[in-house]
């Protein structure tokens, strides 16, 4: 069966892929407030570290294989970062330079994550830019080479307060350095159905770029890729969303222990907040209307229901059907989305029109939902409002030229 994104045009896909990258980044923003509330700043930071470190090595290697740029050098690391939900284009505006295969650098002209936390004070900035960044940057790098290290030249808290660029880092691969050790949760996530999911290959005969095996470029021009390459990217990025969420669940479970109510409260509130903000961005980007049919189509495009081999889903007009899926086996978002807990679905459809609701029936793993029009506009869910503290919720992409960055 073809991808659920296969019917989109090449132009639509070139819009969709960066949207999905930014949407994935907001998973963290949707979940951290509830971790902070439950366990305080120190544990919240540890959740963030484990969340990224148990997911990014998996999906980085998947994308390398999909787009034929596997390697062990600095340009390979940078290519992976350009297709990583941890570094969505422009919102996290990485500017790369390469000295040789083993040495490079980057700085951030715009760090949306920094601008989100600076109003919270220097302590929270240091948590993110020091405590969280050090291990998570290295976890991203070691997916390509376990002897890669990212080290700061300067980073926030900013002195002076308007310092620019926001931060600068070196990247070095030292064959004599000890290989970095993965965190235990990575091995757990590697056993998930998401980690090993097989997706359709890319047709090399189509118009456009079929892979990223050529030179590293300053900014990816998604419109330069072929239709099937963009479909594969979209499916891989949707899967990145699931993998990051699964590692978030692992980190939350580790702290909640046997307190099932606490685990469910934290993960469900993250899910609702992310679902609504993601839907709002997709609705705007894809130019959808506010009818029940368009809202059901919005559910079909949402990372929650993708990629096709991971989620058994079908749509007929304003009605959707979900069946037992690999996503249910993994225990991420989909088991939290049931006829008894439809709030995430409501957040999605109300991103299209606040007068919409869902009527659900079925069991936890086999259910139907119909999007219906009501007489009363619903208030925005509190979890969605909390997630919108991130400037990523309303961030707008701009056209960029793509220039090759040659290795000297």
Q: What is the reported pLDDT for 176?
A: 85
Q: What is the reported pLDDT for 138?
A: 82
Q: What is the reported pLDDT for 141?
A: 80
Is pLDDT at 408 greater than 80 in this prediction? no
Is pLDDT at 53 greater than 70 in this prediction? yes
Give the span between the Cα atoms of 43 and 256, in whole angstroms. 11
Give the span between the Cα atoms of 301 and 17, in whole angstroms. 11
Tokens of 190: 């590697």
Mean pLDDT of 299-306: 98
Is this model's pTM higher than 0.75 or not?
yes
Q: What is the reported pLDDT for 319?
A: 98
Give the span between the Cα atoms of 249 and 232, in whole angstroms. 26
| 181 against 292, higher pLDDT | 292
pLDDT tens digits, residue range 312-343? Answer: 999 999 999 999 999 999 999 999 999 999 99
**Confidence tier at 140 by pLDDT (50, 70, 90):** confident
Query: What would the DSSP string read from start to end of 379-407?
Result: PPPHHHHHHTTSGGGT---------B---
Tokens of 205: 């005969």
Task: Calculate the CA dihedral of residues 108, 217, 282, 398 and round it to 10 degrees.
Answer: 70
Give the span between the Cα atoms of 54 and 189, in whole angstroms. 7
Mean pLDDT of 210-231: 97
Q: Are 17 and 230 in contact (CB under 8 A)?
A: yes
Is pLDDT at 142 greater than 80 in this prediction? no
Q: What is the reported pLDDT for 405?
A: 85
Mean pLDDT of 270-274: 98
Q: What is the reported pLDDT for 406?
A: 67
Q: Are 148 and 141 in contact (CB under 8 A)?
A: yes
Tokens of 60: 């980085």
Is pLDDT at 387 greater than 70 in this prediction? yes
Give the span between the Cα atoms of 313 and 317, in whole angstroms. 13
| Average pLDDT over the chain, rounded to an integer | 96
Mean pLDDT of 364-387: 98
| 139 against 342, higher pLDDT | 342
Relative to beta strand 148-154, strand 367-373 is: unpaired
**Confidence tier at 1 by pLDDT (50, 70, 90):** confident
What is the percent of the chain with per-residue pLDDT over 90, rounded to a whole number? 91
Helix (H) or strand (E) holding 154, with range, is strand 148-154
Mean pLDDT of 144-167: 93
Q: Are 384 and 347 in contact (CB under 8 A)?
A: yes
């Amino acid at each position: 069966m073809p991808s659920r994104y296969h019917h989109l045009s090449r132009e639509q896909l070139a819009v969709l892929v960066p949207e999905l990258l930014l949407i994935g980044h907001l998973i963290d923003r949707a979940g951290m407030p509830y971790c902070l509330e439950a366990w305080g700043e120190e544990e919240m930071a540890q959740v963030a570290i484990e969340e990224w470190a148990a997911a990014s090595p998996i999906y980085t290697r998947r994308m390398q294989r999909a787009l034929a740029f596997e390697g062990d050098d600095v340009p390979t690391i940078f290519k992976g970062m350009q297709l990583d939900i941890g570094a969505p284009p422009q919102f996290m505006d990485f500017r790369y330079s390469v000295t040789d295969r083993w040495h490079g650098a980057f700085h951030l002209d715009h760090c949306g994550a920094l601008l989100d936390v600076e109003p919270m004070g220097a302590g929270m900035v240091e948590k993110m830019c020091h405590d969280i960044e050090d291990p998570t940057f290295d976890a991203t790098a070691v997916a390509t080479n376990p002897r890669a290290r990212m080290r700061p030249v300067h980073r926030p808290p900013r002195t002076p307060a308007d310092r620019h660029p926001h931060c600068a880092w070196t990247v070095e691969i030292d064959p004599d350095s000890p290989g970095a050790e993965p965190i235990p949760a990575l091995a757990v996530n590697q056993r998930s159905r998401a980690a090993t999911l097989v997706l359709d290959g890319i047709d090399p005969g189509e118009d456009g770029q079929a892979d990223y095996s050529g030179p590293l470029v300053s900014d990816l021009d998604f419109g330069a890729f072929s239709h099937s390459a963009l479909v594969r990217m979209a499916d891989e990025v949707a899967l990145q969303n699931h993998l990051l969420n699964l590692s978030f669940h692992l980190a939350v479970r580790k702290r909640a222990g046997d307190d099932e109510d606490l685990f469910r409260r934290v993960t469900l509130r993250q899910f609702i907040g992310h679902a609504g903000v993601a839907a709002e961005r997709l609705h705007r980007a894809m130019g959808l209307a506010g009818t029940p049919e368009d809202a059901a189509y919005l559910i079909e495009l949402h990372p929650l229901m993708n990629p096709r081999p991971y989620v058994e889903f079908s749509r007929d007009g304003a009605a959707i059907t979900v069946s037992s899926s690999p996503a249910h086996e993994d225990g991420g978002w989909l088991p939290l989305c049931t006829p008894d807990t439809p709030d995430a679905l409501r957040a999605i459809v109300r991103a299209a029109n606040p007068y919409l609701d869902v009527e659900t029936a079925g069991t936890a793993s086999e259910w139907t939902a119909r999007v219906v029009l009501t007489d009363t506009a619903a208030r925005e869910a509190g979890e969605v409002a909390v997630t919108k503290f991130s400037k990523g919720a309303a961030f707008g992409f701009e056209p960029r030229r793509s220039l090759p960055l040659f290795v000297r």
